[in-house]
């Protein structure tokens, strides 16, 4: 699937046609302060696919200018996610690679008289900034001499001041209608060990200052970001111009991707992990790429989902059904179709001999390359509890009831004759008889069964744990407190059985469990303790 036409692609085509650029260079700039989520996949796919369309390339640049929240474990996780999506960055870079250059450029701004060291506290800076309707007030430190500013900035670097004691600010316009231009802070003091540069620095550039310079140094032509940066674009251009950067990159903004019943913000995902609401960033319910991967999503299904949502200048909320459908479309012809019983009741076929029978069955009639296996059949089988009801309720009931005949798929017609109960009144097992003439494939057509249900043979069945998921959030109302929106049923575990052919599965392997859904073998699954995650049900519950 190729990236569709969109407004950014059009801009790139024009820029190439008008020789504004020689080629397309993009970058993906995550901050290594959490795991990537599927919203980031929109930014990744967009950057990499667009550059590829024009034979250009994409850099991965970690925006690590805030050491307070960043960590190298996140760097590794982000690299893995991008690789999993099938993309190879042309260069892997860090904002911190440019600290020296960024510092020099800040010095240049001071020398030009467009940056100054300010002693106002963070609170004072905010209150001086004014509001949307009121202009800001100039800092009393705004007119320090170039010499004094150079000295103070050097002392900031040398660690002479405490956190927050001084900042370096751009001298732009305290009455600009765009608040971002009211003398933004461009350097702050943070005495903390940085994951890359250790204790070398105690001053760190702000994103708005560092980002355009990094884009320029790397020769990025189209710097793509989400809509919340629209009002920062003037500032982006201002820094490129004032720093007299030889290469001029341009920023373009696109709408963010949101998904129904899904939290899509690193800050909140981090809280879910830290509060223990989920089992980690790769919890299969999480919208992180690591979570989706563990759940069993394929990278192709994620890419085609992203591409199918298109790209526009407005933020969009897409139904989670679309993501699920994308997985079904990807897996339908690719996976083995096998049998699992998630909520078993034993059914004993009283007139069947004490033996097992081998049914030779291809894995997927739509893809014979997947081969075939032996499905055992015998006197005792497990069927799904929901496939039995004592009294047939109405003509729409196409499953088993007392006195009713159904086909056990690929085997025989069976008729249920008796229910054996536990002391508490629940069903212990069912007694049935089979008709030897009705063997599947024999051409028998004298009667029609009431329906077809699946089974696994009891002696050869392997016990298995199935994790069944619902959305983490009960609604899409991001104004409500996240903790109140948690779905108490988001993770349900059941014990059942699988047919023996599934036994030697490997981690991450995907199956279609007939009538039950698409499943993937969980990372913790092992021989004797098989665990499967339901990725999606077979049919959309929407229809």
**Cβ atoms of residues 455 and 382 within 8 Å:** yes
Dihedral (CA of 158, 162, 164, 165) sign: negative
Query: How near is the Cβ of 271 to ligand ATP at its closest, in Å?
Result: 11
Instruction: Based on the shown chain and the rule CB under 6 A, indicate whether residue 356 belongs to the binding site for ligand ATP.
Output: no
Choose which of 105, 117, 206, 257 interacts with ligand ATP (CB under 6 A): 257
Q: How many residues bind to ligand ATP according to rule CB under 6 A?
A: 15
Instruction: Based on the shown chain and the rule CB under 6 A, indicate whether residue 95 belongs to the binding site for ligand ATP.
Output: no
Query: How near is the Cβ of 32 to ligand ATP at its closest, in Å?
Result: 8
The angle formed by the CA atoms of residues 417, 419 and 423, to the nearest 5 degrees, is 165
Q: d(Cα 214, Cα 461) in Å, to the nearest integer?
A: 59
Q: d(Cα 252, Cα 226) in Å, to the nearest integer?
A: 8
Collapsed DSSP state (helix, strand, coil) of residue 475:
coil
Instruction: Based on the shown chain and the rule CB under 6 A, indicate whether residue 89 belongs to the binding site for ligand ATP.
Output: no
Q: Which lies closer to ligand ATP via its Cβ, residue 225 or residue 375?
A: 225
Instruction: Based on the shown chain and the rule CB under 6 A, indicate whether residue 226 belongs to the binding site for ligand ATP.
Output: yes
Q: Which of 9, 42, 182, 266 is catalytic?
A: 266
How distant is the alpha carbon of residue 234 from its chain centre? Answer: 31
Q: Which lies closer to ligand ATP via its Cβ, residue 43 or residue 170?
A: 43
Choose which of 12, 15, 24, 40 interacts with ligand ATP (CB under 6 A): 40
Instruction: Based on the shown chain and the rule CB under 6 A, indicate whether residue 291 belongs to the binding site for ligand ATP.
Output: no
Instruction: Based on the shown chain and the rule CB under 6 A, indicate whether residue 267 belongs to the binding site for ligand ATP.
Output: yes
31 included as an active-site residue: yes
Nearest to 105 by CA among 252, 246, 233: 246
Q: Which lies closer to ligand ATP via its Cβ, residue 32 or residue 284?
A: 32
Q: d(Cα 343, Cα 382) in Å, to the nearest integer?
A: 9
* Residue 376 neighbours by CB under 8 Å, 6+ apart: 356, 357, 358, 359, 457, 459, 460, 499, 500
Q: Taking the CA of residue 174 as centre, how many other CA atoms within 13 Å lie in the half-sphere pointing to its CB?
A: 14
The angle formed by the CA atoms of residues 237, 238 and 239, to the nearest 5 degrees, is 95
Tokens 């702050």 locate to: 188
In the DSSP assignment, the letter for residue 409 is T
Query: How near is the Cβ of 272 to ligand ATP at its closest, in Å?
Result: 13
336 included as an active-site residue: no
**Which range in 91-99, 101-109, 236-244, 264-272 contacts ligand ATP by CB under 6 A?**
264-272
Q: Which lies closer to ligand ATP via its Cβ, residue 303 or residue 379?
A: 303
Instruction: Based on the shown chain and the rule CB under 6 A, indicate whether residue 233 belongs to the binding site for ligand ATP.
Output: no
Show which residues are catalytic: 31, 256, 266
**Interface residue list for ligand ATP (CB under 6 A):** 29-31, 39-40, 42-43, 225-226, 256-257, 264-267
């Amino acid at each position: 699937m190729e990236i569709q036409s969109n407004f950014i692609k059009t801009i790139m085509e024009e820029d190439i046609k008008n020789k504004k650029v020689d080629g397309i260079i993009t970058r993906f700039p995550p901050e290594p302060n959490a795991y990537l989520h599927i919203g980031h996949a929109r930014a990744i796919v967009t950057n990499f696919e667009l550059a590829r369309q024009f034979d250009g390339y994409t850099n991965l640049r970690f925006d690590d200018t805030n050491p307070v929240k960043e960590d190298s474990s996140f760097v590794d996780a982000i690299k893995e996610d991008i690789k999993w999506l099938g993309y190879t960055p042309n260069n892997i870079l860090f904002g911190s690679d440019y600290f020296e250059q960024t510092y020099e450029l800040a010095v240049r701004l001071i020398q030009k008289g467009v940056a100054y060291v300010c002693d106002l506290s963070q609170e004072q800076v905010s209150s001086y900034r004014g509001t949307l309707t009121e202009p800001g007030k100039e800092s009393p430190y705004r007119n320090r001499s170039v010499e004094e500013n150079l000295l103070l900035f050097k002392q900031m670097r040398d660690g002479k001041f405490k956190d927050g004691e001084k900042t370096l600010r751009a001298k732009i316009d305290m009455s600009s209608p765009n608040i971002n231009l009211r003398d933004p802070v461009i350097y702050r003091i943070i005495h903390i060990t940085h994951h890359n540069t250790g204790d070398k620095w105690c001053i760190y550039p702000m994103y708005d200052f560092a980002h355009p310079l990094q884009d320029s140094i790397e020769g990025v032509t189209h710097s793509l970001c989400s809509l919340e940066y629209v009002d920062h674009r003037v500032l982006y251009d201002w820094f490129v111009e004032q720093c007299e950067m030889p290469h001029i990159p341009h920023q373009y903004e696109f709408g963010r991707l949101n998904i129904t019943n899904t939290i899509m913000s690193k800050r909140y995902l981090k809280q879910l992990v830290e509060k223990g609401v989920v089992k980690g960033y790769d919890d299969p319910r999480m919208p992180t790429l690591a979570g989706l991967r563990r759940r069993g999503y394929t990278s192709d299904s994620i890419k085609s989902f992203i591409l199918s949502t298109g790209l526009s200048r407005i933020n969009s909320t897409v139904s989670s059904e679309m993501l699920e459908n994308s997985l079904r479309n990807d897996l339908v012809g690719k996976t083995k179709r096998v049998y699992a019983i998630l909520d078993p009741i034993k059914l004993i076929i009283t007139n069947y001999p004490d033996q097992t029978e081998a049914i030779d069955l291809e894995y997927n009639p739509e893809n014979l390359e997947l081969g075939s296996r032996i499905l055992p059949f015998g006197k005792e089988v497990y069927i799904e509890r929901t496939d039995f009801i004592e009294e047939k309720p109405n003509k729409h009931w196409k499953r088993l009831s007392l006195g009713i005949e159904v086909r056990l798929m690929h085997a025989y017609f069976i008729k249920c004759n008796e229910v054996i109960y536990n002391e508490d009144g629940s069903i212990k097992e069912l007694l049935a008889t089979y008709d030897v003439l009705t063997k599947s494939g024999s051409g028998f057509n004298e009667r029609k069964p009431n329906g077809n249900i699946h089974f696994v043979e009891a002696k050869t069945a392997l016990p298995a744990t199935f994790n069944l998921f619902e959305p983490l959030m009960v609604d899409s109302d991001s104004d409500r407190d996240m903790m109140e929106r948690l779905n108490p049923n988001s993770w349900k575990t059941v014990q059942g059985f699988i047919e023996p052919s599934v036994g030697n599965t490997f981690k991450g392997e995907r199956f279609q469990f007939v009538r039950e859904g698409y499943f993937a073998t969980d990372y913790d699954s092992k021989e004797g303790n098989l665990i499967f995650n339901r990725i999606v049900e077979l049919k959309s519950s929407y229809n």
